[in-house]
Amino acid sequence: MNHEVIDGVPVLWAEAPGPLEAALLFGCGARDESFRTLGVTHLVEHLAMGTLPRLHHEHNASVGLTTTEFTCSGRPEQVVEFLGLVCRALGALPLERIEREAGVLAAEGGMSADPVTGELLSHRYGVQGVGLAAYQGPGPDRIPVEAVRETLARYFHAGNAVLVLTGPPPAGLRLPLPSGERPPRGATQPVLRGGAAWYQENVPSPGLALHGDLDDDALFLAVEVLANRLRETVRHQHGLSYDVGRDTVFVGPGQGERTLVLDAREGQDQRVAELLWAETVRLARDGMSEQELAEELAGVREAFQDPRSTPFELREAAAESLFGGDYRDADTRLDSLTRVTPDGARQALAQALRTAVLVVPCGTEPDVRQSDGTPLPKYSCGGGGQRLPAAGRTFRPPLLARLFSSNARRIRLVVDEAGLWMGHPDGTVCHVRYDEVVGVETDGPSRVVFGRNSCFIPVVSDLFPDAAPAVAAIDAAVPESLRYPVSAFRPTE
Ligand SMILES: [Zn+2]
């Protein structure tokens, strides 16, 4: 891999077959946003791409959880032109086009992660950082123009960019980006919920998240073996599932999530979730054979030695350089993988199992047990033990609703000086403290209050017609910058 610097931007390149491919990466993604500004990076990307003339070679742009990239492939002079146009656009973004691009974003409706992985991240990290993956936020038409300016100034400059190329930099290549300082990144975000548990959520299929060091080769191989076993059992033996998806999410140096997502045939979510969990526990307890490990290693070696993996390797190196990690080239990594033993892999999985979170679609009640046979705890809001406060003002649904619906009879909204509580018909209690509010959607006399802990409290007039004092308390306690009118693109949920 070759290193150069052009106009202050590090350039990493290596020869690969095919036309020249370029990816201009910025160390900015959905995890750098907040609930209130969700989608702002995507808006920046659209505003920049919207300035391009019609180009006849392949080009694209995308926003992930950690990075934004502008990519193209073609003849060297086409690559030079595209990169020059993108850099100049980022230095002079047409902010007057925000409204139009917001409509385009609403139509596109893209998410920065797989929906099951996104939900698992939100469970673990709350409504912040990578946990934002599960959310749409206030909507593209509610992104403040000030947030667009701040995101541009903070992240989209030469100091926070890396260019990767699948060949030497072509003659005349310039990267005329504004200059800037690499943004300081705080310590790793706190893990809100650590211990192993399962929970129900509105997801399309079951999924599992394991917390660990993404550079831990023993854990990497253990998860590969696990995925293969799941393909063997869930797919080939039982025919319950078509795909065993895997995802890795970088959270900070030395920390990340590995997720496994299994699609399930109609009506088979429970069995698929039980098999997913049982195979994970079994592998962490009983381990794997030398042969199983060798199989996975052979697959990895094949992938590393494929010349088509060069663009992927270049991006890995670029990400490490943006976020202060140590890039290990394919040979170094293979060498380290070869030294993983079956028991080392088993131990790594057993360690990660302590943080395992299993999500299942709502209504699914899997029988899942820990390695000692005891049931895996079920997570619910407030830990299942939270009670509504005795002091505080209580609101209930209208009398007529309470007469006809036992659910309405059980619903309570309680407001005190610290925040809001909501008692649900099933006995769970959601709680949002005022100092943990990440957004308040306003719609006439109604408010929906979103908390950093993933709870949201609908103080809506249909449900609580007499809640005007609660609305007044919310408006007084939550800063105006966090309140926004409901998006014109979406009805209140
Ligand atoms: Zn809740």
CATH of the domain at 409: 2.30.29
Residue 217: which residues within 8 A CB-CB, separation 6 or more?
333, 336, 337, 340
Q: Same domain for 253 and 367?
A: yes
Domain membership of residue 185 (yes or no) is no
Provide the pLDDT for residue 493: 43
Residue 90 lies in a domain: yes
Q: Which of 110, 143, 165 is the last residue of a domain?
A: 165
106 with 124, same domain? yes
Do 140 and 8 fall within a single domain? yes
CA 282 to centroid of ligand 1, rounded, Å: 32
For the record, the structure tokens of 309 come out as 């993996």
Question: Separation of 128 CA from ligand 1 center, angstroms?
Answer: 16
- What's the gap in Å between 408 CA and the centre of ligand 1? 17
Q: What CA–CA distance (Å, rounded) separates 51 from 40?
A: 17
Ligand 1 centre to CA of 357 (Å) is 17
DSSP 153: H
CB-based burial label for 281 (10 Å; 0-12, 13-18, 19+) = buried
CA 457–ligand 1 middle distance (angstroms): 8
* Boundaries of domain holding 155: 2-165
Distance 394 CA to ligand 1 centre (A): 18
Distance 246 CA to ligand 1 centre (A): 28
How far CA 474 is from CA of 126, 173, 434, 441, 480, in Å, comes to 21, 54, 8, 11, 10
Residue 289 and residue 240 in one domain:
yes
Distance of CA 158 to the CA centre of its chain: 25
Q: What share of the chain is helix, strand, coil (3-state, %, to 5)?
A: 40, 20, 40
d(CA 325, CA 255): 11
How many angstroms is it from 429 CA to the middle of ligand 1? Answer: 6
Distance of CA 183 from the midpoint of ligand 1 (Å): 33
- Do both 60 and 124 map to the same domain? yes
Same domain, 350 and 399: no
pLDDT of residue 365: 95
| Residue 136, domain CATH | 3.30.830.10
Distance between CA atoms of 354 and 211, rounded to whole angstroms?
Answer: 9
What's the 432 CA to ligand 1 centre distance in angstroms?
Answer: 8
| Residue 301 located in a structural domain | yes
Are residues 98 and 65 part of one domain?
A: yes
Residues 215 and 359 placed together within one structural domain of the fold? yes
Name residue, tokens 């742009």.
Answer: 61
Going from the Cα of 167 to the center of ligand 1, the distance in angstroms, rounded, reads 51
Q: Is 231 found in the same domain as 307?
A: yes
**CA–CA separation, 6 vs 155, rounded Å?**
18
Q: Is 174 domain-assigned? A: no
Cα 270 to ligand 1 centroid, rounded to whole Å: 23
Domain contains 226: yes
Cα–ligand 1 centroid distance for 381 (angstroms): 4
CB contact at 8 A, 349 and 223: yes
Distance in Å, CA 140 to ligand 1 centroid = 25
- Residue 187 is predicted with a pLDDT of 55
Residues 154, 215: one domain? no
Plot region of 66 (φ>0 → left; ψ -120 to 50 → alpha; else → beta): alpha
Owner of token pair 């990816």:
23
Using the Cα atoms of residue 459, residue 461, residue 464 and residue 468 in order, give the sign of their dihedral.
positive
Q: How far is the CA of 372 from the centre of ligand 1 (A)?
A: 30
User: Cα of 61 to ligand 1 centre, how many Å?
Assistant: 35
Residue 151, domain member (yes or no): yes
* pLDDT (0 to 100) of residue 492: 43
- Cα 106 to ligand 1 centroid, rounded to whole Å: 27
Q: Ligand 1 centroid vs 174 CA: distance in angstroms?
A: 51
Which domain-ending residue is among 339, 363, 379? Answer: 379
How much distance in Å is there from the Cα of 431 to the middle of ligand 1? Answer: 6
CA of 377 to the centre of ligand 1 (A): 17
Same domain, 218 and 73: no
Cα 73 to Cα 442: distance, rounded to the nearest angstrom = 45
Distance 413 CA to ligand 1 centre (A): 13
How many whole angstroms separate alpha carbon 360 and alpha carbon 199? Answer: 6
Distance 430 CA to ligand 1 centre (A): 4
Whether residue 172 is contained in a domain is answered as no
* Cα 455 to middle of ligand 1, angstroms: 4
Domain final position from 115, 145, 165: 165
Tell me, in angstroms, the distance from the centre of ligand 1 to residue 210's CA. 22
Q: How far is the CA of 112 from the centre of ligand 1 (A)?
A: 23
Give the Å distance between the CA of 122 and the centre of ligand 1: 12
d(CA 179, CA 338): 43
Q: Calculate ∠ Cα 161-163-167, nearest 5°.
A: 170
Distance 433 CA to ligand 1 centre (A): 12
pLDDT tens, the chain, 493 aa long: 999 999 999 999 999 999 999 999 999 999 999 999 999 999 999 999 999 999 989 999 999 999 999 999 999 999 999 999 999 999 999 999 999 999 888 888 777 789 999 999 999 999 999 999 999 899 999 999 999 999 999 999 999 999 999 999 999 999 999 999 999 876 556 666 668 999 999 999 999 999 999 999 999 999 999 999 999 988 878 888 778 999 999 988 888 999 999 988 888 999 999 999 999 999 999 999 999 999 999 999 999 888 889 999 999 999 999 998 888 888 999 999 999 999 999 999 999 999 999 999 999 999 999 999 999 999 888 666 678 888 899 999 998 888 888 888 899 999 999 999 999 998 889 999 999 999 999 999 999 999 999 999 999 999 999 999 999 999 999 999 999 999 998 754 4
Q: Are 417 and 391 in contact (CB under 8 A)?
A: no
> 230 and 155, same structural domain?
no
As for how many domains the chain has, the answer is 3
- Say how many Å lie between the CA of residue 423 and the centre of ligand 1: 9
Residue at 68 is within a domain: yes
